[in-house]
Structure 1
């Protein structure tokens, strides 16, 4: 669908202008210095020095900062500016709505050892999560229930080694930024350094935007905890943490299970010295859905590079990883369903489903944890996942061990909670409908364990999967009590066929197909090949003109005449169906076939139908029947 970005941007600009113009030029009180304005007359700027801040690095400037914030808020909104200088903050800074803290180049807000920060507030729900997650007032900067707030510029907020990494005592702070129930938050350009337990902790927030944020907590603990938050866009972040770098959680600190999702993270670099680089959990009360991670570099993680656990009853679905490179990770990919159930309202056992990994490269280091997909029994298997062009190199170096199911601590979320996996490349337990395509595993040092072992599950496909064989390994891929496994087109690194061991398992391979990318097809005038959404196959997708009759036409080859299933992958980010005629060799075989909404333009769905094909080349045209045009079309899967 064609988007009118220019018009939308103009509307947004007008709305923002109206908001700021209504709050500009408020008269200061008699006791307060005047606000000075920037070149843009619609936005008032409140210089903290005008309210008593010295910027000399030793005087307590937090009272002056709080006065400037109050003045900006009372004026209806504005920018609180920190010119170049070092601003000591011995007390908690209290954010207020419609205020942006702007840290100019050369400005630093410094934490203090004076033990005069706000005390941690009581929380009747603090039994459901760790102390640091349960209390919010004990921070350098705190706010609750705020709207339209921001932290921008190019300066730094530095705890200066004075924030607490454990449970703070009276007057101590354990986080730089602490926000609850916020809406319309911008966190861009600045650097957060030495944050204690957290560089930034937000909980219960909606509509968060972050660009070029730097967090350096490598000498402390967590980088950014994004908890119970919806509608977030994070671009170009650089987070180097000791504990978790960028982590998505949902706890019970606010007294309810809250939703999470509609999050995009792109173009970012992450590292975690002791723990997880990009993580879901461990606090997982509310459900998570619609996460897009793309163009991310991970340079170290002593636990998981890409970690995902549901320990407290949450359902995690519709999560997509694309174009990610990992080095120095001890556990490249780990998923686990656990049964800790540390959440209010009697949580059950969670689910993980609908996860995709595309174009992932990982190099592991010792001590190594085998990439793992670990579901729970019964109805809590991990389901419906794809791994496309996922290539992992592990350290290796193990001799063959027992291939029985390793031990598991179901209330522990760490990679080490599962015993040594009997496979070096992938260990899969209690999982259904997983497909590995064009992927592979290998080791740096000879490993005599099988490359893959799958235990208990169904419909597991390894299509053009490459494995490295240990010099004394008994087999390459093992299936234990798996209903419907398939190994097709796969080889070892030396080109031989992989050896399969299938104890108490059955083999079933889906009908082979050929993929026809939409960008290689013919399409109507006005259509374009785009790549501005996530999770497409190939180099892009076709976005047709908004017109009835707009089309994409594939040329599909068939070895023999007959009826064949074909699958069209599409995205429709609207709530309106975009029906299209499916026309084969000039004859309409499906009139006004439904292409219903998929929830967003980044979410793709399959439309499958059976069509008659002749031997040789066939044309399959998808032609819009309404003025909305076709849905975005990614590819067609047809007969092999």
Structure 2
């Protein structure tokens, strides 16, 4: 055992020759476990207590220099954990994160921003015309890092902007983010840690891969965004609780790093989200690079001033293979919104994007805005939304609107917000330029009598409703309307809430429901086999 101790200690000792002297606590031998059956020895990384480097933790002294020294020492030693014991650590300078370092805050420990901050200035970005100021600059943050590997933020403590981070464009010396990480590989964020009062972003990552988050809390409902995951692949988020004012958990792809980057292979499950003014679980609006392979399951959304589940392609991205399952939403303006737009705010002359291969299973939602009915809005030509299935999706909308024209509402194709489309002429689903859309064992109801139809599909097709239940308005002209649905429509085994047959108004071609149901059934079976039996997502 003595030989083992000496050998392991030798791995740590060389760092003492660097200019960053290690305190005695960091030189203590790491814990050793002797596994059975001759397995290799494993040891924990050394710890670097910030108080050993001069941090006071009294909430008054500026502890940024001491924390930076601890981070540099851990990095120089080949990696380690920078520990914050009980206390409040005022940080008025940007902390530079380094590879192979984890910041761990004990229960009762708070790393807090300062109103007398001297944070780094925003770096120049030749591509800043393609996204807003907050997305274009990364240095002006409480904690910043670029091209790092194997980093983490864990523990039961808090990183708190303290109301001192900016929600708009910061002036020199001000910061607008807690975490700002670019081009990282191997990020751990969670373990009970809380990010509070994040300014514009509690966490912003761009161009990263291999991200793992478990038991993360973000409390920034009095500021703006929770977590922006931008141009990032291979992400797993579990047991997150995110309360934001702007977007809570959002997936984007911008041009801030000077390239269109891929996004995908993402799993999010067993999480709680809320967004006061905006979107709870969102794709976009920045959408340059393509997105594929997303699995969302076991999510509760309590409040969203825009979309509960939102997805827009505004800047040329193709978004595909996205699956939502077991999601409950309450008090959301627009429970589900999908839109293809033509903003094209991205480098290299982007075209128009496309949304396809999207499924919703076991979704329950109550909306709170009669204007923002759940919507699928595709662009013309080859940019229709395509291949969207709804199974066991039950929505209750507020209703309360009188009869109105069933003509196509207005649309601002360069705006991604739900109100970019005028009041929908259906109190429930409004579908425009959407192909191969199926609803099975689903329903739509209202809280107050409404003079509009439950569903209108305009253009596109085929669209199929099987065992679909609608609530009929006393003065609505019909229940399901099909306007120029040239791909055909089918309504089978459906009813209104009193058991009668739904009233249908249709123009355009129709198709045999039997053949359609067989094709849709085969597609659903294939989807369940490929995705729903494996909620954890790809290995």
Fold shared, TM-score > 0.5 on shorter chain: yes
- Native 8 Å contact 1:22 1:76 kept in 2: no
1:478 to 2:443 alignment? no
CA distance in 1, matches of 2:82, 2:392: 48
- Native 8 Å contact 2:370 2:401 kept in 1: no
1:167 to 2:169 alignment? yes
Structure 1 residue corresponding to 2:492, chosen from 479, 488, 495: 488
The 5 Å alignment of 1:455-474 reads: 455-474=458-477
Structure 2 residue corresponding to 1:279, chosen from 265, 277, 282: 282
Evaluate the alpha carbon distance shift between residue 109 and residue 402 of structure 1 in structure 2; reply closer, same or farther with a 3 A threshold.
same
Equivalent residue, structure 2, for 1:543: none
1:421 to 2:410 alignment? no
Mind listing any 5+ residue stretches in structure 2 that lack a counterpart? 1-7, 33-42
1:218 to 2:221 alignment? yes
Equivalent residue, structure 2, for 1:228: 231
Evaluate the alpha carbon distance shift between residue 117 and residue 32 of structure 1 in structure 2; reply closer, same or farther with a 3 A threshold.
same
CA distance in 2, matches of 1:346, 1:435: 34
CA distance in 1, matches of 2:454, 2:419: 19
1:244 to 2:260 alignment? no
The 5 Å alignment of 1:77-476 reads: 77-188=79-190, 189-366=192-369, 368-476=371-479
Aligned to 1:465, what secondary structure does the other structure show?
A: strand
Q: Any idea what the Cα deviations from partners look like across 1:237-281, whole Å, max 9, x if unmatched?
A: 000000000000000000000000000000000000000000000
- Native 8 Å contact 1:480 1:505 kept in 2: no
1:501 to 2:505 alignment? yes
Residue 484 of structure 1: how far off its partner (Å): 1.2
Residue 32 of structure 1: how far off its partner (Å): 3.0
- Native 8 Å contact 1:32 1:51 kept in 2: no
- Native 8 Å contact 1:82 1:103 kept in 2: yes
Larger Rg: 1
CA distance in 1, matches of 2:535, 2:502: 40
Evaluate the alpha carbon distance shift between residue 214 and residue 405 of structure 1 in structure 2; reply closer, same or farther with a 3 A threshold.
same
CA distance in 1, matches of 2:287, 2:150: 27
Equivalent residue, structure 1, for 2:21: 32
CA distance in 1, matches of 2:158, 2:165: 15
CA distance in 1, matches of 2:111, 2:150: 21
After superposition, the CA RMSD in angstroms is 2.3
Residue 365 of structure 1: how far off its partner (Å): 1.0
- Native 8 Å contact 2:15 2:22 kept in 1: no
CA distance in 1, matches of 2:524, 2:159: 39
Q: Any idea what the Cα deviations from partners look like across 1:454-499, whole Å, max 9, x if unmatched?
A: 0001110000000000011110000001121000000000000000
Q: Any idea what the Cα deviations from partners look like across 1:403-456, whole Å, max 9, x if unmatched?
A: 110000000000000000000110000011010000010000001100000000
Residue 568 of structure 1: how far off its partner (Å): 9.9
The 5 Å alignment of 1:537-556 reads: none
Residue 44 of structure 1: how far off its partner (Å): 0.6
CA distance in 1, matches of 2:82, 2:468: 56
Equivalent residue, structure 1, for 2:39: none
Aligned to 1:68, what secondary structure does the other structure show?
A: helix
CA distance in 2, matches of 1:68, 1:31: 9
Evaluate the alpha carbon distance shift between residue 508 and residue 332 of structure 1 in structure 2; reply closer, same or farther with a 3 A threshold.
same
Residue 30 of structure 1: how far off its partner (Å): 6.6
Evaluate the alpha carbon distance shift between residue 211 and residue 569 of structure 1 in structure 2; reply closer, same or farther with a 3 A threshold.
closer
- Native 8 Å contact 1:484 1:509 kept in 2: no
- Native 8 Å contact 1:228 1:258 kept in 2: yes
The 5 Å alignment of 1:10-25 reads: 24-25=12-13
Aligned to 2:395, what secondary structure does the other structure show?
A: strand
Q: Any idea what the Cα deviations from partners look like across 1:65-109, whole Å, max 9, x if unmatched?
A: 000000000010000000111000010010000000011111000
Aligned to 2:390, what secondary structure does the other structure show?
A: strand
Give the paired residue count: 513
- Native 8 Å contact 1:260 1:288 kept in 2: yes
Greater share of residues in helix: 2
Residue 27 of structure 1: how far off its partner (Å): 3.6
CA distance in 1, matches of 2:77, 2:306: 48
Mind listing any 5+ residue stretches in structure 1 that lack a counterpart? 1-19, 518-534, 538-566, 574-597, 604-640
Q: Any idea what the Cα deviations from partners look like across 1:212-252, whole Å, max 9, x if unmatched?
A: 00001100000000000000000000000000000000000
CA distance in 1, matches of 2:527, 2:459: 31
TM-score by length of 1: 0.77
Residue 23 of structure 1: how far off its partner (Å): 6.0
Aligned to 2:292, what secondary structure does the other structure show?
A: strand
The 5 Å alignment of 1:569-608 reads: 570-571=529-530, 602=537
Equivalent residue, structure 2, for 1:68: 70
TM-score by length of 2: 0.91
Residue 571 of structure 1: how far off its partner (Å): 3.6
Aligned to 1:50, what secondary structure does the other structure show?
A: helix
Residue 508 of structure 1: how far off its partner (Å): 3.5
Equivalent residue, structure 1, for 2:35: none
Residue 536 of structure 1: how far off its partner (Å): 9.0
Equivalent residue, structure 1, for 2:37: none
- Native 8 Å contact 2:20 2:73 kept in 1: no
Residue 291 of structure 1: how far off its partner (Å): 0.2
Aligned to 2:413, what secondary structure does the other structure show?
A: coil
CA distance in 1, matches of 2:505, 2:529: 37
Residue 400 of structure 1: how far off its partner (Å): 1.2
Residue 367 of structure 1: how far off its partner (Å): 5.5
Equivalent residue, structure 2, for 1:630: none
Aligned to 2:279, what secondary structure does the other structure show?
A: coil
Equivalent residue, structure 1, for 2:36: none
Residue 129 of structure 1: how far off its partner (Å): 0.1
